[in-house]
Structures are given as C-alpha cells and as structure tokens.
Amino acid sequence: MKRRIGWSFLALSVAVSCSGSPGVDVEESTRLNPAAPSTDVDAITPTATATVPPTSEPSDLVESSNPVDPASADLAGVGDSLYPTLGNGGYDVDHYSLAIDVDVDANVLDAAVTIEAVAVDELDVFHLDLQGLEVQEVTVDGVEASANRTGHELVVTPDRPIADAAPFTVVVHYRGMPEPIDDPAVPFDTIGWHQRETTVYVVSEPSGAMSWFPNNNHPADKATFDFEITTDSELTVVANGVLEGIKEVGGGQSTTTWRMDDPMTTYLAAVYIGDFELQESFTADGLRIRNYFPPAFADDLDDDFELTADVIDFFETLLGADYPFDEYGSIVLPFGIGFALENQTISVHGLDSTDPYTIAHEIMHQWAGNSITLGDWQDIWLNEGFATYLAYLYFEDRGLPSDIAPIGMYAALRGGSIGPAEVPVDELFSPSVYFRGGMALHALRVEVGDEIFRKILVAYYARFAGSAITTGEFLAVVDEVAGPDAVAVLDDWLYGPDLPAFPE
C-alpha cells in the first residue's frame, strides 16, 4: 500500500525541497480528477466514507476483550502479534473458488464460496473469518454443518470430526450487502468491498477480505484462487490472475472467470466491476501487461503507466529473479481514493495516485509482500520498507526524479519515529514503517556497499520467494552474506528507540 496523504504529502514536500523532484502528484491529481478539490489534502478519503458507511459492529480485530471464547482462541487466530483473531488455527487452505453474483446498483452479493483445505489437527470445530453478510448454508464434504457467528468468527461444527491431515471441502452460501471494515491500522478509510457510483472495488489490506468472502484471513495461509463473477454484461469484471473467459448466462448477465494459480494471501484478493477500457502491452521478455482505465482518462493514464515494463525489467535484474506471476496489470478507479494497493497481479490506483513513484512502489510489492509474504503483521516493514526503498532505486538507476529519496525520508522521521519492526497496530502504515524501514535498507547499503547489498537482495528473494516469513529470517540472510556488523546496523534502525544518524 502507499498512501498519498499524511506522511506521503510530507514526503513529497520534503522531496521537492531537498532533491528538486518535480511536484508531479499535485498537477496530475488536478488534471485527472476535475471533480476533486485542488489540493491533495482535501482530495482524500471522506468521499468514500460518506457513500459507504463503516460497519456498525464494533471492531473485534485487536481488542483483548474480543468476544471469542478463550477456550477456542487457537482456533480463532494464528497467533499474530497485532491481530490475535485474524486467521484461524487447525487447517491450511489450498484453494478458494469464489462464485459471486453481484447486483452492482444495489451492492448485493449472492455467493457460494468453496474452500479446499487440509486439517493440521483433528477438528471437531473450526473457524472462518467473515464480517457481516447473511450465511445461508455451510456444508463440509457435502454434508450440512452447523454454523454460528461470534464477531467476525464463523464457527463451523461439521457433522463428524475431521481427521488430522485429512483434506476437506467447505462450501458457504451467503448473501447480502458487504459492510466495509474499520481497521485500526487504516484510520484514513474503511477497507474491504466498496461500491461507489457505478463501480465496485476491493481494497483489503490488512483485514478487509472478510467483508466479502469467508476465509482464513491471515497472510501466513496462502492459497490459489478462482473467481466466477456474474453481473450485468455491459460491465467489465477484473480480478487477480489470468482472464479465463466471459460467458453470457442470459437475462443480460454474464459470468467472467479469472484464475490465480500462484498462492495468494487473502488481503490481496480483489474484484473490480465497472466501465473500464483494457490496454495491453508486453515487456521485452513477453510478460503481458494489462491495464484497465476509466475510458474518459485512458489516454492520459496510458502515458502515466508507460514506465511499467521498464520498472519490471529493472526489478528482475536487481533481484536476479523473474517477475513472480503470469501477468501484471494496474486498474485505475474513476475517482480518487488517496492511496494505491498492490493486489497480486492487479494493483489498484485512484485517479489521484498514478504518479511514477507510486506505480513503481506497487510493482515492487509483487516481489516484496506478494511473493515473499508476511508471517506476522508486526513485520510489515518487510513489505513497505522494501517497496519504498527499492522503488527509489529504480529512479536513482535511471537518473529520473523521484518523489522519495533518502534525504527526504530521513527529514520526515526527525519529528519522531519508532523501530519499524515493533510498531503497534495503529502505526502499521506510518512513516516509521515506510521511511525508517526504507532507511534501514539504505543504511545497510551504505554499510556493505552496492555489490554486497545486491547479493543480500538476491539471496533473500531466492530463499523466500513464495513463503511467509518474519524479520529474523531476513536478518539471518544478512548475517550469512555480510556478517554481524551489517546486522547490528539494521538492529539500530529496526528496533532502536532513537533515530540513528543519517548514514554516509
């Protein structure tokens, strides 16, 4: 994720004054979104919260007094440091099949989600995460199961216990209007499924996936996905992965099928429905890039996103590894949302977040965050510090101006910061994570030199691509490649109470 306001606005100001970068964001925001006020500050999220009210249910994401029975706490969460009830114990999901009929005007879903999982213990009962919506029926291996709701926990009791290590299939039928979620990490918006004007869009990091489908809602449990979305035939439907086909089903409706064959965490699952124009191109290596733009802005946006292939090429060289998935694309919503988010294979941008730096940042996340995934939300800097700093390296290498540069990041931290590897939940998307996390990598590079720094990146990605990891596993790679002095530098930046001196 990359926010445009708050810290990013500060960063932009600092970058402009310190490095001479042009203030492209403000100009583009005004040009592309004539309905928006003329400053970044006013163009932010109140519009979203005004049209889609937040959930009326109190958040039970982080409260120690959450309504889950303590006796089933290990079933209600995976032990995350910041979100004790996100994800669920007792099983691993292999695959989600999402079959969802969407009435876009009414914003009502009628859905059947099939979850193929494997038990890691004998299960008399297990949990899924689902907030709101009306559950109509749950079956386990074809037999109706009992289901109860407790906060965002959907507690399923199968007809007979599931044996340890046994595969099992859960089907959940549900319907209703999704209610976006108030997550304490995202004070600037609600997250999950949104409908605005004639567009449906999903932005789920960290907890929003459970606003629109039942799942094991933690990045540590990655799974493959397919999506069968049925809606009005004249609307375009975009989701993760590869477009399999579009089939007319009668009554002016069609079903669009997308398939995500590489494991993906739930917060990166996304669906977009609306009026979008597809623009396709290819990298030099033949990777398909498919961008979806609002038709009225398509020509300008095509220019904005022209750097995509070059950015992918740069990151492949930097990390010594191919782009991790079958295709890449960006979708731009026909309004501003104040940030962008790196859904796997389909990053979403608002009309106010299509600046070159943000485009590069979301592309970097396909490696850092999407392929290598968080094992615990406390380690969010492994996503955001890497995306922040490695996106900057693209502009440095190409000799292009960048909105983000080390001197600007450091200046933004002087007002106060904490070690990014120990942030509380309400600082998950704070300058400490983006800038101090990014500066940690810059300090490492200054300490070990460009050649060893790149060796660390290559070794780190080669070892953990496709995995869910924590900070300690990154530090172990640094230790192996560069030794304990390099780890000590990172310790100061990641955990130290005080801001270290600017590295030079």
- Contacts with Zn ion by CB under 5 A lie at 1-2, 384, 387
**Shortest Å distance, C-beta 391 to Zn ion:** 9
Nearer to Zn ion, 26 or 387 (CB): 387
Nearer to Zn ion, 179 or 355 (CB): 355
Q: Are 116 and 142 in contact (CB under 8 A)?
A: no
Q: β-strands 346-349, 327-332: how paired?
A: parallel
**Shortest Å distance, C-beta 387 to Zn ion:** 4
Nearer to Zn ion, 387 or 409 (CB): 387
379 vs 471: CA distance, rounded Å: 6
Structure tokens given for 486: 């390099």
Q: Count other Cβ atoms within 10 Å, centred on residue 10.
A: 16
Nearer to Zn ion, 271 or 428 (CB): 428
Nearer to Zn ion, 60 or 183 (CB): 183
What are the b/e assignments for 305-337, b being 16+ CB within 10 Å?
Answer: bebbbebbbbbbebbebebbbebbbbbbbbbbb
Q: Angle, nearest 10°, between helix axes 308-319 and 356-365?
A: 40
Q: β-strands 277-282, 288-293: how paired?
A: antiparallel
Nearer to Zn ion, 2 or 445 (CB): 2
Q: Count other Cβ atoms within 10 Å, centred on residue 425.
A: 18
Q: Angle, nearest 10°, between helix axes 484-495 and 471-482?
A: 150
**Shortest Å distance, C-beta 242 to Zn ion:** 24
104 vs 478: CA distance, rounded Å: 49
**Shortest Å distance, C-beta 355 to Zn ion:** 14
Residue found under tokens 């922040």: 388
Structure tokens given for 497: 């109470």
213 vs 132: CA distance, rounded Å: 10
**Shortest Å distance, C-beta 81 to Zn ion:** 20
Structure tokens given for 8: 């990013």
Nearer to Zn ion, 216 or 370 (CB): 370
Nearer to Zn ion, 4 or 445 (CB): 4
Strand locations in 294-338 (E): 327-332
361 vs 277: CA distance, rounded Å: 23
**Shortest Å distance, C-beta 301 to Zn ion:** 20
Residue found under tokens 């300008």: 300
**Shortest Å distance, C-beta 420 to Zn ion:** 13
Going 235 to 239 to 243 to 247, the CA torsion angle's sign is: negative
114 vs 382: CA distance, rounded Å: 31
**Shortest Å distance, C-beta 29 to Zn ion:** 19
**Shortest Å distance, C-beta 219 to Zn ion:** 14
Structure tokens given for 408: 């600007």
Q: Count other Cβ atoms within 10 Å, centred on residue 245.
A: 10
**Shortest Å distance, C-beta 2 to Zn ion:** 5
Nearer to Zn ion, 130 or 363 (CB): 363
CA distances from 418 to 183, 187, 430, 435 (A): 21, 19, 10, 11
Which residue lies nearest Zn ion, judged by its C-beta?
387
φ and ψ of 72, to 5 deg: -110, 20
Nearer to Zn ion, 237 or 387 (CB): 387
Task: Say how many CA atoms lie within 13 Å of 467 toward its Cβ.
Answer: 12
**Shortest Å distance, C-beta 15 to Zn ion:** 17
Question: Vertex 448, ends 446 and 450: CA angle to 5°?
Answer: 75
Query: DSSP for 398-415?
Result: HT---S--HHHHHHHHTT
**Shortest Å distance, C-beta 432 to Zn ion:** 14
Nearer to Zn ion, 309 or 391 (CB): 391
Nearer to Zn ion, 231 or 383 (CB): 383
Structure tokens given for 147: 């289901």
